[in-house]
Amino acid sequence: EVQLVESGGGLVKPGGSLRLSCAASGFTFSSYSMNWVRQAPGKGLEWVSSISSSSSYIYYADSVKGRFTISRDNAKNSLYLQMNSLRAEDTAVYYCARDAVGAPFDYWGQGTLVTVSS
Amino acid sequence: DIQMTQSPSSLSASVGDRVTITCRASQGIRNDLGWYQQKPGKAPKRLIYAASSLQSGVPSRFSGSGSGTEFTLTISSLQPEDFATYYCLQHNSYPPTFGPGTKVDIK
């Protein structure tokens, strides 16, 4: 069974940093591209970042470019999102999602809440 | 960026009703579109991929159609567990973009 479990969320002050993790199990993690998607309270879904299976290709939304860094450790079956210079508008539930070939965003984790507030 | 619109933004329906939600892309995306259901406090769940393929384990009352710029999600007979918000997602080109959502609630 595919499982994705996010962790690392919490309350952080504006300008602060946070590192999110996504632990994967039930599939060959090293064969899949992965994504982060966020959802602000009461709002819709927003794609944040993607990383290919070998980390060769990385993409970011303009809203986080230069502040967030996506990475992965295939030996540990884990995906990460390093978030720096956090702003109030980064407050959201952050989901990791797997990319199936030709049909991405097939499985999602349960999400982790990030709150940026003084 | 490709913009996705959905209509309606919300609808009220009764159990047993046939429900149709439309998603439009600002430019052609072939069939690179998925439909997702999200219930409050839960992660999105994919219902349809490649515009019309039913995700394994999803009831057959859900169906998708369309190609290019116009897509539809149809629920043939609405069930109590289907009251939720539905999103479309295009993955034809970066950045992937979601529609704003359609909230389906009880009439």
Write the DSSP assignment of A5-52 as a string of letters.
Answer: EEE--EEE-TT--EEEEEEEESS-GGGSEEEEEEE-TTS-EEEEEEE-
Are A16 and A86 in contact by the 8 Å Cβ rule? The answer is yes
Nearest CA to A24 out of A11, A13, A33 is that of A33
- Which residues in chain A have Cβ-Cβ distances shorter than 8 Å to B88? none
Number of neighbouring beta carbons within 10 Å of residue A26: 11
Is the pLDDT assigned to residue B75 strictly greater than 90?
A: yes
Is the pLDDT assigned to residue B79 strictly greater than 90?
A: yes
Contact B98 A45 (CB under 8 A): yes
Tell me, what's the pLDDT at A103? 85
Q: Which member of B49, B87, B91 has the closest CB to residue A44?
A: B87
Q: Which member of A105, A109, A110 has the closest CB to residue B46?
A: A105
Please give the average per-residue pLDDT across A70-77, as a whole number. 98
Query: In the A/B pair of chains, how many CB contacts fall below 8 A?
Result: 52
Could you tell me which chain B residue has the CA closest to the CA of A100? Answer: B49
Beta-sheet pairing, B102-106 with B10-13: parallel
